[in-house]
Amino acid sequence: MLRTITKPIVFLALVLVSTACGTRKESFEEGEKLPKVKEEFLIDKLDSLSMQRPDFFYTRINSKYEDNNTNLTFRTTVRMHAVSALQATITYANIPIYNSIATPDTFMLLDRRNKCYIQEDMSFLKRNFNVDFSHRNIEELFIGLPVAWDSTLTYRQLKDPYNYVVSAYSEKEIQNLEDLKGEIITRYYLNENAEHLEKVIIDSPKDTTSIEILYSNFEFIENFNVPSSVEIKIKTARNDIFIDFKYTKTTINEPRTLFLAIPDKYERCE
């Protein structure tokens, strides 16, 4: 394990994660019952949202990270070129501390405090932290799209009078997660108007970890509905993690340069 940068790497992994979770059953406060809508309408809406991907995305985020032993606040800058690359920079006291780039094939991170770097394929985080995700899923989390939506699967509306919920798994299967070892169970919650995502819950019984992504606010920018506030709750066998994002400046389809060079004096992190 790369002990000198374990905390920031874990943070980046969990910030970028989208397809690994656990065996927790959720209960939600009951509000007013929602009007009934056809299952096909909700599925078509999620399918449509999954394809609404801007060519370029940029945002600055006030970030907060908490776990059982840590409480951190800092700023994160995200630059994204759709399908090709995403760059995330963590800044503390206006000084860039960690800089990372993820592409469909590679993951690179510079640790400027320890003057070292990581350069691996995308399986690095899975091997080191049991986190499995794709570059495309990273984009989906930040833009507020249905994470890991697969139009080739058969989805269904779950019976919930207080929420619009869609999943590829039935209520019975979700109630017995322990029987789905090796499967990833994702539930998509649309807001009360069925216009955008409100929440994504992903369960992976094999990993005994659970992730809930909550989108509490959206704003309309250049014909795209993008989040302005995101909370991520992660429950593992050993830790409870909370990540809070408050987007402070977001632009859509304004090309920006993504660049990450490894200084000659930097060595591989140990």
Q: Could you give the number of structural domains in the chain?
A: 1
Residue 270 lies in a domain: no
pLDDT at residue 12 in the model: 52
Across residues 77-88, what is the average pLDDT? 90
Strand spans (E) along 159-223: 164-167, 185-190, 197-204, 209-221
In this structure, what token pair is assigned to residue 69?
């032993």
Evaluate if residue 4 carries a pLDDT over 60: no
Residue 40 lies in a domain: yes
pLDDT tens, position by position, 162-172: 999 999 999 88
CB 10 within 8 A of CB 16: no
- Where does the pLDDT of residue 30 fall: very low under 50, low under 70, confident under 90, or very high at 90 and above? low
pLDDT tens, position by position, 199-246: 999 887 777 778 899 998 899 999 999 999 999 998 888 888 899 999
- Where does the pLDDT of residue 254 fall: very low under 50, low under 70, confident under 90, or very high at 90 and above? very high
Residue 231 lies in a domain: yes
- Where does the pLDDT of residue 59 fall: very low under 50, low under 70, confident under 90, or very high at 90 and above? very high
Across residues 60-67, what is the average pLDDT? 92
pLDDT at residue 174 in the model: 83
Residue 136 lies in a domain: yes
pLDDT at residue 192 in the model: 93
The single-letter DSSP state of residue 34 is P
Residue-range definition of the domain harbouring residue 8: 3-21+30-265
Residue 209 lies in a domain: yes
Residue 188 lies in a domain: yes
Phi-psi region for residue 44, left (φ > 0), alpha (ψ -120 to 50) or beta? alpha
What is the distance between the alpha carbons of residues 106 and 122, in angstroms, rounded to a whole number?
A: 5
Selected residue with higher pLDDT from 196 and 204: 196
pLDDT at residue 239 in the model: 84
- Where does the pLDDT of residue 128 fall: very low under 50, low under 70, confident under 90, or very high at 90 and above? low
Residue 218 lies in a domain: yes
Q: Report, in this order, helix, strand and coil percent for the chain, each rounded to 5.
A: 20, 40, 40
- CATH for 41: 2.50.20.10
For CA atoms 151, 157, 160, 163, the dihedral sign is positive
Residue 90 lies in a domain: yes
Evaluate if residue 267 carries a pLDDT over 90: yes
What percent of the chain has a predicted confidence (pLDDT) above 90? 50
pLDDT tens, position by position, 17-29: 433 333 344 444 5
- Where does the pLDDT of residue 121 fall: very low under 50, low under 70, confident under 90, or very high at 90 and above? confident
